[in-house]
Amino acid sequence: MPDRDHGDIFSEEYSKPFLPPDHFKRKALVKDDTPYKEAADDKLAYWAGMAENIDWMKKWDQVLDDSNHPYYKWFVNGKLNVSANCLDRHIENGLGDKKAILFEGEEGDSVSLTYNELLKEVNKFCNVLQDMGVNKGDAVTIWMPMIPEAVVAMLACTRVGALHSVVFGGFSPEALKDRILDSNSKILVTADGAYRRGKVIQMKGAAEEELKECPSLEKVIMVERTNAAHQPQEERDFLWSNLMADAADDFSPVEMDAEDPLFILYSSGTTGKPKGILHTTGGYLVGVNTTFRYVFDYKDEDIFWCTADIGWITGHSYIVYGPLSGGSTIFIYEGTPDYPGKNRFWELIEKYKITVFYTAPTAIRSFMRWGNQFPEKHDLSSLRLLGTVGEPINPEVWIWYHENIGKKNCPIVDTWWQTETGMIMITPLPGVTATKPGSATKPFPGIDADVVDDEGKSTEPGQRGFLVIKSPWPAMLRTLYEDPERYEQTYWNQYQGIYFTGDGAWKDKDGYFWIMGRVDDVLNVSGHRIGTMEVESALVDHKSVTEAAVIGKVHEIKGHAITAFVTLKEGIEGSEELVDELKKHVGKRIGAIARPEEIFFTYELPKTRSGKIMRRLLRDIAENRDLGDVTTLMDPEVVKSIKDDYSDN
């Protein structure tokens, strides 16, 4: 990977640091760099101190056992229960009547549960699971919409000692089957259907045929959410409401070892055999509890809204386990940001007085495209902190978020982490860090991140390299489920003793990290390696563009020809003149070698229901291949429209 100065990618206005507002800093949980100093002086002592914020049934004997690389163990011989840390201890501390969950459905229905009420629901479902023969170490698959019962099911699994495998509700029945087979799940917890933009999407009814091919599956528990059609099977299928009506509401949490498995989570976009990422109990909980409190500057009165789906790691760590172990109130919404209107999220922020809002850059780009008039209709003054997650954020998008949602009054925590890391790894601390639009800033205290070259040596400022983690951290994955060889090969074989993230990055002269996306999203254009993220950022920087997806189309001479699919801001029409202008703009920002060969305008980009752009489908379209699986798409018509338009050209 050649050296190249990346300092010219972003204009000067985007490189100016934004200091934490004085009013925020005065009340911040972390006001200075003490945690960084403590972690630098003695990393293990620092994490041991953070673990004191967790209730242990038996304290650990050793903070870290690193004798068997890469199979690290944290808080060795410590005993605890995750659900007890998320529920019982808060009730014992007098927070039983505090709201734990606020929920609103797409149709406007709502539910609120206090910590007392949530514990009773969890205990009931624990007794349901136990009556069905679920024991410590068994696997339970959860395939549900964004409803409170999903949180109840997850917490109940942790209370009885079962490991859960939550499958994103937007995944196809075939993907569900693959994950049930891989985890050998005994129980499936699901719903009859989900609401999506005013329509009912079948779940259990759609999966009937696939479930017949799951020999380990003994019972199916179904929440009646939408009255969608399904075919109940005697002795296998049960209604959630019937089971919960007869269940006792007390259940003692099972003692778990710190290294006992907590959950399996299959990485998105899996092809072939699913990649089951295994997280354990003690280190994971310490990691997500610490980062939740520090990164989101936890306050007792916060109403915390993470817009991720429960089926992704963000939902696990920062809807369920981080916030609830911290005693926070979480808000859950079932629907999309544009139904029944494009002001839906802002309406909910105003209604529920959301204080911390954590969402994806993809969503923010959509908000930008729809126009400022939608957030301007609503009172967003309850917001005090904003966050982003899921992918690097374009500087212009960061600025829009800061000005139009935060009203220049809310710090933004741009967070980098992965399903594998379990917890936030690179992030600002909002009361301390001067932020730069587009940069995730610096590693969290106790995290040893770096950017290295092909030889594993640290890169110079401005030089692109590979993002790595040089020492263990508490919430790290422990293995790939029943596939240790793949675990070692994927994450640990590139550099001796160093975790390979698979992301490209560079550091600036201040030591700030700029994440450039997956290294497999690097195009080889006439011998030059160009990141798709770089080209996308340059396109979105243009005043007419709201979103862009860049792919490499196979080219006989160049290797790859850059093809860009671009969504324009409302009211702007695509034209040949604009195509030429955008090509010149990219050339000016990055260099002539990065100028797209083709630019196509589209009203929307193909996205999964979690908001990720499916560049794979764009490559299939550009190279005239049969399209792969489109079942996870938010709107399959988008792909058809793009394909038709592309063919016409």
Residue 596 lies in a domain: yes
List 2's β-bridge partners, or say none. Answer: none
**Cβ burial, residue 557 (10 Å; 0-12/13-18/19+):** exposed
List 114's β-bridge partners, or say none. Answer: 99
Residue 568 lies in a domain: yes
Whether residue 451 is found in the same domain as residue 542:
no
Whether residue 162 is found in the same domain as residue 215:
yes
557 has a pLDDT exceeding 80: no
Residue 517 lies in a domain: no
Whether residue 117 is found in the same domain as residue 244:
yes
Name which residue leads in pLDDT, 374 or 268.
374
Whether residue 58 is found in the same domain as residue 203:
yes
Residue 206 lies in a domain: yes
Could you tell me the CATH number of the domain that includes residue 558? 3.30.300.30
Q: Which domain holds residue 115?
A: 12-505
- Contact yes or no for 531/525 (Cβ under 8 A): no
Whether residue 482 is found in the same domain as residue 568:
no
Whether residue 315 is found in the same domain as residue 370:
yes
579 has a pLDDT exceeding 70: yes
Across 9-13, 219-223, 366-370, 543-547, the highest mean pLDDT is recorded for: 219-223
Counting the structural domains of the chain, the total is 2
Residue 510 lies in a domain: no
3-state SS track over 164-189: EEECCCCCCHHHHHHHHHHHCCCEEE
Token digits of residue 329: 């109130």
Our CA dihedral for 55, 56, 60, 64, rounded to 10 degrees, sits at: -50
Name which residue leads in pLDDT, 532 or 87.
87
Whether residue 497 is found in the same domain as residue 623:
no
Whether residue 268 is found in the same domain as residue 328:
yes
Query: Which residues, other chains included, contact 536 with Cβ-Cβ below 8 Å and sequence gap of 6+?
Result: 394, 548, 549, 550, 564
Whether residue 579 is found in the same domain as residue 469:
no
**Cβ burial, residue 167 (10 Å; 0-12/13-18/19+):** buried
Q: Which of 140-154, 513-527, 589-603 has the lowest mean pLDDT?
A: 513-527
Separation CA 506–CA 501 (nearest Å): 14
**Cβ burial, residue 515 (10 Å; 0-12/13-18/19+):** buried
Q: How confident is the model at residue 11 (pLDDT cuts 50, 70, 90)?
A: very low
2 has a pLDDT exceeding 60: no
Domain boundary among 505, 539, 554: 505
pLDDT at 313: 94
- Contact yes or no for 367/375 (Cβ under 8 A): yes
Residue 267 lies in a domain: yes
Name which residue leads in pLDDT, 106 or 586.
106
- Contact yes or no for 34/41 (Cβ under 8 A): no
pLDDT at 632: 62
Whether residue 424 is found in the same domain as residue 538:
no
Domain boundary among 472, 505, 538: 505
Could you tell me the CATH number of the domain that includes residue 501? 3.40.50.12780
Residue 239 lies in a domain: yes
Q: How far is CA 202 from the centre of its chain?
A: 24
Domain boundary among 505, 534, 561: 505
Whether residue 487 is found in the same domain as residue 553:
no
42 has a pLDDT exceeding 60: yes
Q: How far is CA 632 from the centre of its chain?
A: 16
426 has a pLDDT exceeding 80: yes
Give the mean pLDDT of 83-96. Answer: 98
Nearest residue to 140 via CA among 280, 262, 250: 262
In this structure, the chain runs to a length of: 649
Whether residue 484 is found in the same domain as residue 577:
no
Residue 145 lies in a domain: yes
